[in-house]
Copies of this chain bind each other. A is one copy, B any other.
Amino acid sequence: MQNVTLKVEGMSCNHCVKAIEGALEEIGASGKVNLAEKTVQVEYDENKVNVESIKEAIEDQGYDVV
């Protein structure tokens, strides 16, 4: 398993947390949002998912990965 922590702009509430964590789950990754630090910590299987698809899943929810 690999870990990556992304800086994400635009997350403001628990709905945002669920939207992002849910979108990551859908691509087979596991995310943990920290609203205060504006980060998303993602654990993923590098044989199934890559960082680009993780970023895309987050951006598709309307947030900016910076």
Which residues of A pack against B, CB within 8 Å? 10, 12-16, 19, 62
CB distance from A4 to the nearest CB of B (A): 24
A12 contacts which chain B residues (CB < 8 A)? 12-13
| Complexed CA–CA distance, A10 and B15 (Å) | 12
Contact of A16 among B10, B13, B62 (CB under 8 A): B13
CB distance from A66 to the nearest CB of B (A): 17
CB distance from A13 to the nearest CB of B (A): 5
| Complexed CA–CA distance, A8 and B13 (Å) | 15
A15 contacts which chain B residues (CB < 8 A)? 13, 15-16, 19
| Complexed CA–CA distance, A16 and B10 (Å) | 13
